Amino acid sequence: MNTDLRTLEAVAAKGRLLGLDMVYHCASGHLGGSFSAMDILTVLYFDVMHVDPNNPADPNRDRFVLSKGHCTPALYPILAQRGYFPEEALDLFRSIQGHLSGHAEMQHVKGVDMSTGSLGQGISAAVGMALAGKMDQKDYRVYAVLGDGEVEEGQVWEAFMSAAKYKLDNLCAVIDVNGLQIDGKTADVMPTEPLDQKLQAFGWNVIPVDGHDMEALSAAFAQAKDCKGVPTMLLAKTVKGKGVSFMENQAGWHGKAPNAEQYEQARQELVAALAEKEGK
């Protein structure tokens, strides 16, 4: 691990608080999947990826694609904390006055490598970036985060096949396995398991990991980097809505803004978590 665990935990805790404020203030957005992915994005941006916020278009940078593009209340707070833009910009999330649209957008937001939101397309773009890296003989790595509901979309399996065919060992994807999608359990809407066996059959190196254990995530990303000749998939077991008691494991919190009372309760819980991580 390059960054100490406490620092990472504080970044993720603050990320959840910033995400909550963003969604509450514009009364719209996706907290459930953002909170399940917050620890994964924290480890990527603060421990794993070689990126420079002062040179966001560096051709040699590692790339990141948020294939589950609705989870900007995770991505934008992480980009802001990493230094791509000021935290105050988050106040204009989903506002016509600002640039931070509800789904990830690469034209105006520094640090976003691909516009996403239409599920299934992000991983395909990530495969293209990794293939381009191979063709250009570049050393950069490409990371992508998908949802477990997203993998119900057929296009992702075409992307998975292509990644194996082209031996894209510079690609490491993560499926945020929170068990829920927009309106229920993935197991009920369209069962996807066993994901490990399916991905292995598609030619991928598969690493199961606890998506909230940042040391384990860091080790899994390092293992992925060492794996040659095939792409790697982290199957990250997570809790949708992680960090807010009444949002955890509730499909109803997929894409709903809290009311004033719910906001206060969520805020109290997240402020307490942040204070604990910051040692206050």
Ligand X SMILES: Cc1ncc(C[n+]2csc(CCOP(=O)(O)OP(=O)(O)O)c2C)c(N)n1
CB of 146 to ligand X, least distance (A): 7
**Contacting ligand X (CB under 6 A), which of 81, 101, 170, 178?**
178
* Closer by beta carbon to ligand X, 91 or else 152: 152
Stretch that binds ligand X, among 46-54, 114-122, 131-139, 256-264 (CB under 6 A): 114-122
DSSP single-letter state for residue 88: G
* Closer by beta carbon to ligand X, 15 or else 149: 149
Site for Mg ion in 164-183 (CB under 5 A): 178, 180-181
End-to-end CA distance of the chain: 24
Strands 180-181 and 184-185: antiparallel
Upper half-sphere CA count for residue 28 (Cβ side, 13 Å): 10
* Closer by beta carbon to ligand X, 81 or else 186: 186
Cis peptide upstream of residue 86 (ω within 30 degrees of 0): no
**Contacting ligand X (CB under 6 A), which of 240, 244, 247, 270?**
240
Residue 188 lies near ligand X (rule: CB under 6 A): no
Strands 232-237 and 205-210: parallel
Site for Mg ion in 181-240 (CB under 5 A): 181
Residue 153 lies near Mg ion (rule: CB under 5 A): no
Per-residue binder mask for ligand X (CB under 6 A), 22-61, x = binder = --------x-xx--x-------------------------
Residue 150 lies near ligand X (rule: CB under 6 A): yes
DSSP single-letter state for residue 56: T
Between CA 259 and CA 241 the distance in angstroms is 16
Burial class from Cβ neighbours inside 10 Å (0-12, 13-18, 19+) for residue 167 reads middle
Residue 211 lies near ligand X (rule: CB under 6 A): no
Between CA 169 and CA 163 the distance in angstroms is 8
CB of 7 to Mg ion, least distance (A): 27
* Residue written as token pair 């060492």: 226
Q: Which of 15, 99, 11, 112 is nearest to 61 (CA)?
A: 112
* Closer by beta carbon to ligand X, 119 or else 131: 119
**Contacting ligand X (CB under 6 A), which of 180, 209, 236, 244?**
180
Query: Interior CA angle at 41 toward 39 and 46, to 5°?
Result: 95
CB of 30 to ligand X, least distance (A): 6
Q: Are 70 and 60 in contact (CB under 8 A)?
A: no
Residue 81: enclosing H or E segment and its boundaries? helix 72-82
CB atoms within 10 A of CB 190: 11
* Closer by beta carbon to Mg ion, 51 or else 66: 66
* Closer by beta carbon to ligand X, 180 or else 230: 180
Residues near ligand X (CB under 6 A): 30, 32-33, 36, 68, 70, 117-120, 147-150, 153, 176, 178, 180-182, 240, 254
Residues near Mg ion (CB under 5 A): 147-149, 178, 180-181
